[in-house]
Structure 1
């Protein structure tokens, strides 16, 4: 399975507030297969040399330089740390601290050095989960399966979850054939309610999609007792107990793609509705002011865009065509300010935005 530790939105906000004489942001391509991680370690070593050389040439205090080198090498030389990884690794370091995040999404190798961290790639990890779950449900078998983009799926052991109807009902279910179809559906509802109760702790800390694989009437009965908000609308109608894990994942994966596309279409519909109310902007200067004064409700930003400059306390942008010590990514700063005032922020690809736009914002009130 993937070993992922994605930052919470609160952690992201804290990282966005960090200011230091030097902030190192490193993003590495990694692999869940340990034998493929040597290339990642070599790349990290090269990035460390490049970063230290750059800050030394800019006159960083030698004691601070030594502390930074120690922080970075504490990751590079930690053999235990390199045992478990996902598809990308984020390393964010100052001379005083270092944090790492193993990410499920694929990010290109990248090094950024400045007075603040470069965090836009982390926003992508917070936007859409890169794993999902299947609840393979029948009267004779219950399985929870976690699956990923390109590594083998795994069955998850769920404490207190009944593995079949008899497990949930015990001896009480043995005589159900005497009572007819209505009583049978009552027993199935008791069965699915116990499953839902067992699943709640699993999904309490994240909202990864849950796809139901079952047949009628059990599928409808499960949905009637479900309390998990991440259960997707589509059901894979099949007797899943006859399918192995890999075969089940192969057949269910298109439903996950449908789920993501449905989310994006729903957002597009929201933008179209709010545009008629003058509550939408794609203009950076307007979005910067709106974010500064807490006026953004929902923000989509282009993960691939790069616009350098600064934003003052009044939300006014000064653009800078080249990166220097004073400038930073203004779209990142808009996202950070929007998050700090309770906005939902999503990092998307350019094709999910209006043509030519670096962002798209829904405002809490009209312009």
Structure 2
């Protein structure tokens, strides 16, 4: 029933011509407190608002409403569905489609009935829930995870060595010396049966190179960040032989085998969160450079016009901001019609920018580079 959100999915939703297009957003954080019934009630309340809009603004009869919203009514009473939520929920309904997305970022409750879907909050999911990879690395345990802000999933990599004992085909006694590694004068020191020799160092490096080979093969076409959870000295060695470009200089220090998945996700996010949002700093720098030129704007109506004509390269907007109106192409002007023709101008600017190949970032008000609710960097 639920779908994975990708940029292609977003573009598909943009093409909806089966008006009215219904967009419903709601926060589902209450699931973490076990308040499943509360979620059902809140969703039914949002559906009631949609019903009222369909009657008052679109002239729909009860029979037509029941037919259009039938899948949503069914979802509202599915108790199993409400027990398996993330942070937010997005539901899109038209006469030809019914699409549901469980979101990893929180949303605010709202419903829209318009000629197009309202996608502002959905856009934020694409950037705020970016995935990264976590490699749990040690001599006796290795595991690769796919992670985002709220989820962590262990990946099945058959080629990844489970531990150095199996990789080198060692007996228990021979494997002991690899169990604890510290750094002394920049060189690894093994503790166990006697001092480490060149052969031991060679074996360890061979083991780490094989791990790097498998990881790089798995991620070679990816651009996601990779963070390693390992003892400091082992990470230092791995970092020197690593061939994956997305590896972070920082690492999660400690024994990953002693951490549960929740701890790994939480601690790794504390490290990687700022890197996930690097794009905001880049945009801010670009905007500051262009602020006093005609290649940028914070004027909503000017941005709406520019987005319509494919002039916007990068758009950043406050995902809570709304303003009703319509862009009249013949007059190159935004007007307020005060009827069903009006739509959310912020959403319109976002949709037009995506349709014309630009980038859109829908974020919280406090994350905006300036005090404005919208800003654009133009192509020309």
Q: State the Cα deviation string for residues 46-95 of structure 1 (Å, max 9, x = none).
A: 22233223323442256533321323223223455445221211111123
Give the drift of 1:180: 6.0
> Alpha-carbon deviations, 1:217-256, whole Å to 9, x = none?
5445357534364x44432344444545455455434213
SS in 2 for 1:216: helix
C-alpha distance in structure 2 between counterparts of 1:61 and 1:246, whole Å: 49
How far has the Cα of 1:362 moved from its partner? 2.1
Quick check: 1:16–1:116 contact (8 Å CA) kept in 2?
Answer: yes
Question: Contact conserved, 2:39 with 2:82, CA < 8 A, in 1?
Answer: no
Give the secondary-structure state (helix, strand or coil) at the position aligned to 1:264: helix
- For residues 48 and 276 of structure 1, the distance between their equivalents in structure 2, rounded to whole angstroms, comes to 45
Q: Does 1:185 align with 2:192?
A: no
Structure 1 residue 326 and structure 2 residue 326: aligned? Answer: no
Q: What CA distance in whole angstroms lies between the structure 2 residues aligned with 1:82 and 1:232?
A: 37
TM-aligned CA deviation for residue 99 of structure 1 = 0.9
Given that 1:308 and 1:327 are in contact with CA atoms closer than 8 Å, whether structure 2 keeps it comes out as yes
Q: How many residues align?
A: 354
CA distance in 2, matches of 1:134, 1:30: 27
Question: Higher mean Cα deviation, 48-57 or 87-96?
Answer: 48-57
2:317 to 279, 297, 301: 301
Q: Greater CA radius of gyration, 1 or 2?
A: 2
Shift of 1:42: 1.3
2:69 is paired with a residue whose SS is helix
Task: Give the secondary-structure state (helix, strand or coil) at the position aligned to 2:251.
Answer: strand
Residues in 1 aligned to 2:125 and 2:323: alpha-carbon distance in whole angstroms: 21
Query: What secondary structure is seen at the aligned counterpart in 2 of 1:25?
Result: strand
**Structure 1 residues 251 and 49, CA gap change in structure 2 (3 angstroms):** closer
Distance 1:157 1:317 in 2: 52
Normalising by the residue count of structure 2, what TM-score does the alignment of the two structures yield? Answer: 0.78
Separation in structure 2 between the aligned mates of residue 219 and residue 135 of structure 1, nearest angstrom: 14
Q: Does 1:95 align with 2:95?
A: yes
- Residues 125-167 of structure 1: CA distance to partner in whole angstroms, max 9, x if unpaired? 11211765432212322133466657xx756142323222344
Instruction: Please name the residue that 1:266 is paired with.
Output: 282
Q: Which runs of 5+ in 1 are unaligned?
A: none
Q: Give the deviation of 1:304 after TM superposition.
A: 1.7
Q: Paired residue for 1:252, among 265, 268, 292?
A: 268
User: Do residues 24 (structure 1) and 22 (structure 2) align?
Assistant: yes
Asked if residue 73 in structure 1 is aligned to residue 63 in structure 2, the reply is: no
Inter-partner Cα distance in structure 1 for 2:74 and 2:34: 21
Q: Give the 3 Å change call, closer, same or farther, for CA 315–105 of structure 1 in structure 2.
A: farther
Structure-2 separation of matches of 1:116 and 1:195: 42
Deviation string 1:186-216 (CA, Å, 9 cap, x unpaired) is 442222212333x439x96xx7654222233
Q: CA deviation at 1:279?
A: 3.0
Could you tell me how far apart the structure 2 residues matched to 1:323 and 1:226 are? 58
Q: Compute the displacement of 1:98 (Å).
A: 1.2
Give the C-alpha shift of residue 355 in structure 1.
3.5
Equivalent residues of 1:64, 1:95 under 8 A apart? no
Q: 54-63 or 344-353: which moved more? A: 54-63
Secondary structure in structure 1 of the residue aligned to 2:233? coil
1:15–1:189 CA distance, 2 compared to 1 (3 A): same
Kept after mapping to 2: 8 A contact 1:25/1:91: yes
